[in-house]
Structure 1
Amino acid sequence: MSASLLFLIVLALAAIGFVVGRSKALKSAGGDSRHLHSLPSYYGYNVALWVLVPSLLTLVVWLLVQPFVIENSVTSLIPETSYSSPGELSLIMSDVRRVADGLDLAVAAGVMTADEAGTLQADTSNVRADLAAIGVALGSDVNADTLAAAQRYRSMNATGSMMRNILVLALSLGGLALAYSRTGQEYRARNAVEKVVLVLLISAASVAILTTIGIVLSLIFNTVEFFKLYPASEFFFGTTWAPSFGGGSELGILPLLWGTLYISLIALAVAVPIGLFAAIYLSEYATPKVRGTIKPALEVLAGIPTIVYGLFALLTVGPLLVGIFGPDGWLGVGWMRGATSVMTAGLVMGIMLIPFVSSLSDDIINAVPQAMRDGSLGLGATKSETIKQVVFPAALPGIVGAILLAASRAIGETMIVVLGAGAAARISLNPFEAMTTVTAKIVSQLTGDADFASPEALVAFALGMTLFVITLCLNVFALWIVRRYREQYE
């Protein structure tokens, strides 16, 4: 029985529990719900929750733990002489899983019986022929060790799935019987249901915290492993980025940080004036009809996938800039040699950030009390003077926070810089040259068949940790500014 079918059965039992629990509660009260402690539906929900919660928790935990247990057990059957690196062991285990799946398919297709699949000998040609007949492609020969591991994998997987199904169904039926036996006129079903709902809400609220902790711990552990293999001083103060998977890598982060900050600065130079002026117009000058049309249209930019912005940078903005600043361009200055450059990525990223700045600034400007505007106008100030000398200073802390949040968004952008900025790690003041960023190199270092334990792969976690600290500091600083000064204008 598959996990999805088991899930449907548990849902069906929960639905049955809801009906029988509600019916028993009404029956115990003589059909008059006024004699019950709780509403009849609470008794049904109580039985359904007793069916769902224990069984589904067990199912989820089992699905998470079983693969690790089986992998560790089966890996011990692979002789250490068969592989020389974790990468080779991973390839062997991939073949083990494919052979195990192939044996299941062979049994299902009638090519062999279940007993034959469990006792099959490692005749390579026969095994490959039988599995190839049902469309199972293998990456290497099926030797005795691989076949034995696959048979062990298949056996443990089948046993684990059977035990899982029995345990989950037993918990569902046991929960149904227990909750049904407790159901009665005096039972406080509403209290029990609300306690379960409270626990579920707390668990949902904890997901974000636990996810953040998991991300931080994974970054920290792998960053520590990287600094065991590569000096931290050369990483943080090195000016050359030249990874070499054959050895002798130079992994200085400064060129990547320079490219990241340079592109982000250009993006903010585009987004902040346009977004801020748009926010002032929408909040102070636009009529309700115009505002209701322009604001949603402006916020559509925030819903465009970043890969689309990257293609726009590569195919439209880059060639346009080459046509203006290239050797044969309109100005003929020869500053730009290719379509990928800091300016290309910065301009497109700035367009992407406009709705971030405008929406946040618009909300902050609208939060300024109308009494401050009325007082300024009553003293004889014009509308523009009121905006410049009263509204804007009052909203400035929130606007600064919005700009810092947009800056952290720019620093963490990936696809636009991958397609629009190029891949050259250099420190240069020329915005028309190709450069790269921290996020782009994280992608490149984790792409390919490199040994995960090498410094060239682990450096991606050190880059991610550095970027995480920078954006976290910006976000904390932005929130501090907003909270520190917001109360003065409430």
Structure 2
Amino acid sequence: MTTSSLFLLVLGLGVVGYLLGRKRALAVAKATGQRLHSLPGYYGQTIALYTVVPALLCLMAWLFVQPVLIETRISAMVPDSAIPEGGARSLVMADLRRIAGGLDALKEAQNISEDDLLALRAETSDIRKELGDVGVAIGSEVQGAVFEAAKAFRGAEITGRFWMTVLTLALALGCFMTTLLRIRPEARARNTSETFVLSLLIGASLVAILTTVGILGSLLFETINFFKMYPAKDFFFSTVWNPQFRGGSDLGILPLLWGTLYVSFLALVVAVPTGLMIAIYLAEYASKPLRAVAKPAIEVLAGIPTIVYGLFALITVGPFLRDYIASPLGLGSSSSSVLTAGLVMGIMLIPFVSSLSDDIINAVPQAMRDGSYGLGATRSETIKQVILPAALPGVVGAVLLAASRAIGETMIVVMGAGAAAKLGLNPFEAMTTVTVKIVSQLTGDTEFASPETLVAFALGLTLFVFTLGLNIIALSVVRKYREQYE
């Protein structure tokens, strides 16, 4: 049984448990003449919760533990002689998983046994034409030991899936029958249901924290492995970025960090003043009919996919800047430039600044405006001296969100700024950012244990620390302002 089918079956049992639990609670109360402690629906919810929650927790734990155990056991079956010279065991295991998947597809398509598969591999040209990727997965280059390990891998997965189904269904049915038979009028079913909801809320609140811890832990672990292979001094202080997967790489982060800051700065120069002026106009000057049309129209920009912005930068903005500004002034001849990516990214960020700032400005109490007008201040003076200082924490948050969005953008930079890692001040030159190189270093069939691949995690951790620093600075600014005005 597939995982999705098992999941739906457990949920179905929970629905049946709710209906039977509610019905049995009413029947028990009628038979005993006692009043139910809780509403009948709470008794049904209790049975549904006891049926679904333990079974799904067991299913999640099984899905997490089983691959680790199977990988560990099957990896020990692959001899060192089956690993190519200069290769890694992880690559062999990846091929082994593909072969195991190919065995299932081939057996289903051809209705053959596993023992006949080696003979069929001699006719790989015909099989590949018929089976496509499956034929590639079981190509004639597969060694016997790897093939046997693939069969063992597939057998272990089938066995594990069987026992997972048995244990999950047994747990669900056992809890279902136990809680159904233990229904009593005096049982505090409402307390059980509300305790579960409270636990669910606490778990939801911990998701963000645990996700951040998990991301940081994974980045930190792989970054430590990277610095065991490559000197940290060269990574942080070298001005050359030249990865060579055959050795002799220069992996200095400074050109990438400079490109990230340069593009983000230009984007914020476009987005922050424009977005803030839009927010002030919509909140303080625009009429209600105009605001009802203008604000949704501006927010449409936030829903456009970044690949569309990238195409706009590549086809329209880049050639325009090259033909009408860069080439006549002798500043460059390429349509890919920092200015191209910065302008287009700034346009993309305008809704982030304008929408949030508009909401914050509208949240300023009307009494503060009335008090300013009562003292004789004009509308513009009220905006500058009262409204903007009161809305500063929210505006800082909007700018921080836009900055984080700019730092993490990839597609616009790839298509608008190019992929050249270098230091320079000319905005009409092609440069690149940290996020672009993270993608490029992890793309393709590369050895995961090499410094040229692990450097992506070091880049990600550096970017994480950098954005964390921006958050700390923004929080300190907001805290200082609040201490002054509250």
Whether 1:67 aligns to 2:60 is no
Contact 1:103-1:131 at 8 Å conserved across structures = no
Q: Which residue of 2 aligns with 1:41?
A: 41
Shift in alpha-carbon separation, 1:336–1:50, aligned structure 2, 3 A: same
Q: Which residue of 2 aligns with 1:171?
A: 171
Q: Which residue of 2 aligns with 1:467?
A: 463
* Residue range with higher mean Cα deviation, 296-305 or 32-41: 32-41
Contact 2:306-2:412 at 8 Å conserved across structures = yes
Question: 1:68, CA displacement in angstroms?
Answer: 2.3
Q: Partner amino acid for 2:56? A: L
Contact 2:357-2:398 at 8 Å conserved across structures = yes
Question: 1:165, CA displacement in angstroms?
Answer: 1.1
Unaligned runs of 5+ in 1: none
Distance 1:442 1:102 in 2: 31
Question: 1:486, CA displacement in angstroms?
Answer: 4.1
Distance 2:404 2:97 in 1: 42
Q: Which residue of 1 aligns with 2:255?
A: 255
Contact 2:88-2:447 at 8 Å conserved across structures = no
Q: Which residue of 2 aligns with 1:182?
A: 182
Shift in alpha-carbon separation, 1:107–1:315, aligned structure 2, 3 A: closer
* Residue range with higher mean Cα deviation, 342-351 or 137-146: 137-146
Matched ranges for 1:407-418 at <5 A: 407-418=403-414
Unaligned runs of 5+ in 2: none
Matched ranges for 1:188-337 at <5 A: 188-327=188-327, 332-337=328-333
Question: 1:33, CA displacement in angstroms?
Answer: 10
Whether 1:382 aligns to 2:378 is yes
Contact 1:106-1:131 at 8 Å conserved across structures = no
Whether 1:430 aligns to 2:448 is no
Q: Partner amino acid for 1:138? A: V
Q: What is the alpha-carbon root mean square deviation over aligned residues?
A: 2.5
Whether 1:345 aligns to 2:341 is yes
SS at match of 1:245: coil
* Residue range with higher mean Cα deviation, 419-428 or 475-484: 475-484
Contact 2:410-2:435 at 8 Å conserved across structures = yes
Contact 1:236-1:252 at 8 Å conserved across structures = yes
Distance 2:244 2:129 in 1: 43
Question: 1:176, CA displacement in angstroms?
Answer: 0.5
Q: Which residue of 2 aligns with 1:152?
A: 152
Distance 2:121 2:376 in 1: 96
Distance 2:266 2:354 in 1: 17
Contact 1:341-1:433 at 8 Å conserved across structures = yes
Count of residues paired in the alignment:
482
Question: 1:173, CA displacement in angstroms?
Answer: 0.7
Contact 1:360-1:399 at 8 Å conserved across structures = yes
Contact 1:336-1:433 at 8 Å conserved across structures = yes
Q: Partner amino acid for 1:21? A: G
Matched ranges for 1:7-26 at <5 A: 7-26=7-26
Shift in alpha-carbon separation, 1:22–1:129, aligned structure 2, 3 A: farther
Q: Which residue of 2 aligns with 1:83?
A: 83
Distance 1:15 1:486 in 2: 51
Shift in alpha-carbon separation, 1:220–1:107, aligned structure 2, 3 A: closer
SS at match of 2:391: helix
Shift in alpha-carbon separation, 1:70–1:262, aligned structure 2, 3 A: same
Q: Deviations over 1:167-220 (max 9, x none)?
A: 011101101011112112111111111112222222222221111111101111
Shift in alpha-carbon separation, 1:431–1:108, aligned structure 2, 3 A: closer
TM-score by length of 2: 0.92
Contact 1:239-1:255 at 8 Å conserved across structures = yes
Question: 1:437, CA displacement in angstroms?
Answer: 1.1
Question: 1:124, CA displacement in angstroms?
Answer: 6.2
Distance 1:18 1:12 in 2: 10
Q: Which residue of 2 aligns with 1:137?
A: 135
Question: 1:86, CA displacement in angstroms?
Answer: 8.4
TM-score by length of 1: 0.91
Shift in alpha-carbon separation, 1:269–1:45, aligned structure 2, 3 A: same
Contact 1:33-1:40 at 8 Å conserved across structures = no
Question: 1:449, CA displacement in angstroms?
Answer: 2.6
* Residue range with higher mean Cα deviation, 123-132 or 417-426: 123-132
Distance 1:100 1:152 in 2: 9
Q: Deviations over 1:428-481 (max 9, x none)?
A: 111111111111111111122332222211111111111111111112322343
* Residue range with higher mean Cα deviation, 276-285 or 451-460: 451-460
Shift in alpha-carbon separation, 1:435–1:485, aligned structure 2, 3 A: same
Matched ranges for 1:448-487 at <5 A: 448-486=444-482
Contact 1:105-1:134 at 8 Å conserved across structures = no
SS at match of 1:35: coil
